[in-house]
Amino acid sequence: MAVANNQAFRNPQAGRASRANFSTREARGKIIDQEGREVPEATPGASFGGIHFDFRHSAANPFGQLTREQRLKRLEAVAKVLDVAFILPGTKIRYGVDGIIGLIPVVGDIIATGLSLWLVHEARALGAPWHVTVRMLGNVAFQGVVGTVPIAGDAIDVLFRANMRNARLLRNWLEKQPR
């Protein structure tokens, strides 16, 4: 006996309105780990197996409560990675992640400029005044705009080193400030 498609998939209770009378937790069921044990529902801020992980006030958190000198060292380290982390074999030419990312047309230059702008943002967070920030933004804009030129822009990315210039500008300004 052949059954039509509309009869095979027809829900016999389609006309009735039904609502679930249970909570989301009950609908989801128990959470079971790999050994078959039930995992209790975690509450915010709860510890895991008696160990509490709090990276907000830890030295392990790179974005935590850092001193001014630690933030400046982090900014300089990121600038070095972006601009002078590697050496071209057989030469003394240094390049960084910024130069590698910049090889990707358009998108690479946008990403590299975004990373450079993060450094400027960090400088503002350290208290850099407007005249230092404007010079830093000028360096980033020059490298970002010239970097879009297909071949010459990639060479400028490697040779201009806007992030190292910006780190040096910030360091010089901070050294002139009273402590």
Residue ranges covered by each domain of the chain: 68-176
Global pTM reads 0.64
**Do residues 37 and 132 touch, judged by C-beta distance below 8 A?**
no
Residue 161, pLDDT score: 93
**Do residues 142 and 152 touch, judged by C-beta distance below 8 A?**
no
**Do residues 164 and 84 touch, judged by C-beta distance below 8 A?**
yes
To which H or E segment does residue 95 belong?
Answer: strand 94-95
Query: What is the crossing angle of helices 162-176 and 107-125, to 10°?
Result: 10
For the segment 33-87, what is each residue's pLDDT rounded down to a tens digit? 767 777 776 654 455 556 655 655 555 666 667 788 888 999 999 999 999 999 9
Query: What is the rounded CA–CA span in Å between residue 153 and residue 73?
Result: 28
Query: What is the rounded CA–CA span in Å between residue 99 and residue 96?
Result: 5
Across 4-13, 156-165, 167-176, least confident range: 4-13
